[in-house]
Amino acid sequence: MTNHTLSFIGGGNMAHSLIGGLIADGWPADRIHVADTDADQLAQLAERFSITTSRDNPAVVADADVVVLAVKPQVIHTVASEISAAVQARQPLIISIAAGIRSADLDRWLGGNSAVVRCMPNTPALVQSGATALIANARVSDEQRDLAESILRAVGLTLWLEDEQLMDAVTALSGSGPAYFFLIMEALQEAGVQLGLPEQTAQLLALQTAFGAAKMALESDEDAATLRRRVTSPGGTTERALQTLEAGGLRELIAHALTAARDRSRELADQLGQ
Fold of 175-269: ProC C-terminal domain-like fold (1.10.3730)
pLDDT at 73: 92
List pLDDT tens digits, range 2-25.
789 999 999 999 999 999 999 998
Write down the CATH superfamily of domain 6-167: NAD(P)-binding Rossmann-like Domain (3.40.50.720)
CA distances from 202 to 57, 153, 194, 242 (A): 47, 34, 10, 20
Using the predicted structure, report yes or no on whether residue 153 has a pLDDT greater than 90. yes
List pLDDT tens digits, range 54-64.
999 999 999 99
* pTM for the predicted model, two decimal places: 0.91
List pLDDT tens digits, range 84-128.
999 999 999 999 999 889 999 999 999 999 999 999 999 999 999
Domain assignments of the chain as residue spans, ordered by start: 6-167, 175-269
Q: How confident is the model at residue 1 (pLDDT cuts 50, 70, 90)?
A: low
If you average pLDDT over residues 40-46, what whole number do you get?
94
pLDDT at 240: 97
% pLDDT > 70, the chain: 100
Q: How confident is the model at residue 53 (pLDDT cuts 50, 70, 90)?
A: very high
pLDDT at 3: 87
Q: How confident is the model at residue 274 (pLDDT cuts 50, 70, 90)?
A: confident
If you average pLDDT over residues 204-226, what whole number do you get?
97
Same CATH topology for 6-167 and 175-269: the answer is: no
List pLDDT tens digits, range 162-173.
999 999 999 999
Question: What would the DSSP string read from start to end of the chain?
Answer: -----EEEE--SHHHHHHHHHHHHTT--GGGEEEE-S-HHHHHHHHHHH--EEES-HHHHHTT-SEEEE-S-HHHHHHHHHHHHHHHHHH--EEEE--TT--HHHHHHHTTS--EEEEEE--GGGGGT-EEEEEEE-TT--HHHHHHHHHHHGGGEEEEE-S-GGGHHHHIIIIISHHHHHHHHHHHHHHHHHHTT--HHHHHHHHHHHHHHHHHHHHH-SS-HHHHHHHT--TTSHHHHHHHHHHHTTHHHHHHHHHHHHHHHHHHHHHHHT-
pLDDT at 181: 97
Rounded CA-CA distance 60/68 in Å is 11
